[in-house]
Structure 1
Amino acid sequence: MVLVHSDLSTAEQIESLQQSRGKEKTPWRLFHLKMACADVIWKLCIQPKAVREDETSLMHEIAVIRPKETAKIGSNKPGFHRMHEVIQHRVKVKQIYGYPSLEKWAKMKPMTKYSVGHTFTRLRLQPQTAHDQQQENTLLRQRYYLLYEEITYAMNAGDIGRVKQCFLPWILIFKGCGKHKYTTHMLRFLHNLHYVYPPKLKRAICMNILCNLMGKPDGFQEVDWWLEHNNFYTKQVYGGQFSNCTKCRILKESVLIQVYKRIWINFENMFMLHKYGYKHLKANMVLTFKKLVKHIEKKRTHEFVRGRTAAYVIPDAMDIGLQKLISAESVAINVDEENIAEKVDGDDGNLDV
């Protein structure tokens, strides 16, 4: 039994080999899953041009905290790291300045005011003059932010049980926004993990899906993230230039990447070069966050304004995905299905690493 950590396209090739050779291998790709989650938020909350027109939209908030990057974020390739920071900054603003203490936060009933509850569908069915479309868009965005934060923190903490629990809402969201391949592969993974694999194999998978090479708290990383890291050094740093940058050279030197890195580190330590470099501190975002808080209060983003309309209504991808999964026309509910007929753009995440 061999555990393979890869992206979605590699996983499909492995499954094709399983069918032809009958040798089972299990692909893992949590980092690419997190990229797909960020891509979903970008597709739902930024990509449609109409969704950027409202003053309470995410794009207007980005213009406050990152005014020089609005064009890049609004483009087709904003990048995963940039979107990851945008989501985390938006959540942190609410965590730091939204409430002074946990007691007051609990009294405010946050699940009904700042996120989508079980009555959200009925809320949208009310007459136009009885509800606030911009606040409803904000509630949906908050739910997507919190789900993304939860799976991110679970991965950083190495809590694989919590990561598996986070799969369920994202399966529905992926199905609702058109990422059918991720939906099918995640369903198959959960089915195999709980009903197919023996207990020892299940434990081996759960204990090796995340790794913490530095041994620091909240320092866990996805294995496919380390693969991307090594690929960067293999292709970009030590891959050669011009005529030396060939496939043969890259394959020949790929096994020596760790040796090259160790030599580099030894030379820096030997000549104390690391003391003459620059290690930039994290950006102080306090003033920027306060500026965003003033913008939120001024535009009444989290307040109910009866009859306020929106230029674009963000779809409830989780509800749409649930309807598709329970309908007779859905093919993703059958976790044993081998051939996936549905093909859509962005199944492997459109955001670059």
Structure 2
Amino acid sequence: MHDLIHQCADGRMLDVWRVEVNRRNPGHATLEDFASSTPTWEAIEAISLSLVASYVDKPASQDGDFRNASLVLGRLLLYVELCHAMKHGDIGRVERTFLHWVFVFKKVGKHKYATELVRIMNELNHVYPPGLARAIRLNWLCNPTGKPDGFRAVDWLVELMNLFTKVVYGSSGYTRTFQLIIKQSPLIELFRKVHTLFQDNFHLVHRSVRHAPPDTASTLKVLLDELKKHNPHMCTPNRPAEVKLEDHLREGMYILQTTTGIARETEVTGTDTEEGQGEDEELDIEVDIDDLEAAE
């Protein structure tokens, strides 16, 4: 699903670029034509800013298909932004996406996610001392490989260590005991280094199960052909849409603004409910939309 979201985002962004450069210069029928004109970096930046202003999040558009496409593109870009910020360890950018996700989670009925995001935003900006808040931000992500884009969530590393401890080096048969797993758990990193050392000495260069990034050129071509055929990113007034997509961002914002506090599902069920079902309890601490905007 993660790869699918990124491929959809890439395809839609490329199609938006195609529409915009063709609108500015009819001679640029394709992105290849635009690239062959050797545009300056300043021109590319200017077009990028124009794309955000003209093609992203247009719920009031009179073109139904264009409206839907703009909402989809807005949510895709938010996801891509979050992934990119996490991979590069930019916790400030990660934190700035939280408020948008709060609105989305409120709209789809995931109240606990929204509640916890609001809670941590409020505590980091208004409750915790600056030193503690900084320590939390610096330890939200970890980088096991040391690569510039190798940051991961801490729970991902915990699950990886669980895999090594319980499965890879957990023994088998009658020797696989709880006591043995506990005894060997501090040595997992040593086992990994010895394993890698043997593989390097025997020149086992293809030891990794990781593969090169897939070539998505053919996938993107099919997607771009379909987008060009239907032209959802070209605004055509009064064009009807078969389905009117919900604007999760603004509708979630409305829900948040019209409730007295951040609602949480009752502790009896322990699960979120669909929108409109069940009774929500108010948290002891009430945080409204003004508090969140002040934290930006």
TM-score, normalising length: structure 1: 0.61
Matched, 1:176 2:76: no
| Counterpart check, 1:185 vs 2:116 | yes
Report what 2:140 is aligned to: 209
Equivalent residue of 2:97, what SS? helix
Deviation (angstroms), 1:276: 7.4
Task: Tell me if 1:88 matches 2:16.
Answer: no
Matched, 1:141 2:69: no
Residue from 203, 215, 237 that aligns with 2:168 = 237
Greater Rg by CA:
2
Q: SS of the residue aligned with 2:246?
A: coil
Q: 1:324 to 1:331 in 2, by over 3 A?
A: same
Cα distance between partner residues in 2 of 1:141 and 1:315: 10
265, 268, 272: which is aligned to 1:344?
272
What's the counterpart of residue 43 of structure 1? none
Give the drift of 1:168.
1.0
Distance in structure 1 (CA, Å) of the matches to 2:195 and 2:81:
37
Corresponding position: 1:281 with 2:222: no
Q: Given that residues 56 and 73 in structure 2 are in contact (C-alpha distance below 8 angstroms), is that contact kept between their aligned partners in structure 1? A: yes
Rounded Cα–Cα distance in structure 2 between residues aligned with 1:262 and 1:214: 13
Return the alpha-carbon distance in structure 2 between the equivalents of residues 328 and 174 of structure 1: 14
Q: Secondary structure at the match of 2:212?
A: coil
Unaligned residue ranges in structure 2 (runs of 5+): 18-33, 275-296
Preserved CA contact (<8 Å) 1:113 1:302: no
Q: Relative contact order, CA 8 A, sep 6+: which one is greater?
A: 1
2:69 alignment partner AA: T
Name the SS for the 1:273 alignment partner.
coil
Q: Does 1:115 align with 2:46?
A: no
Q: Distance in 2 between matches of 1:140 and 1:330?
A: 27
Instruction: Measure, in 2, the Cα distance between the counterparts of 1:279 and 1:321.
Output: 39
Gaps of 5+ in 1: 1-82, 124-130, 347-353
CA pair 278-343 structure 1, distance change in 2 beyond 3 A:
closer
Q: Give the secondary structure class of the aligned counterpart of 2:56.
A: coil
Q: Pairwise CA RMSD of aligned residues?
A: 3.1
Change (3 A) 1:245 1:89: farther
Aligned pairs, how many?
250
245, 250, 265: which one pairs with 2:196?
265
Q: CA deviation at 1:192?
A: 0.9
Alignment partners' CA distance in 2, 1:104 and 1:329? 45
Q: Give, in angstroms, the shift of residue 212 of structure 1.
A: 2.3
In structure 2, the CA distance between the partners of 1:163 and 1:279, relative to structure 1 (3 Å rule), is closer
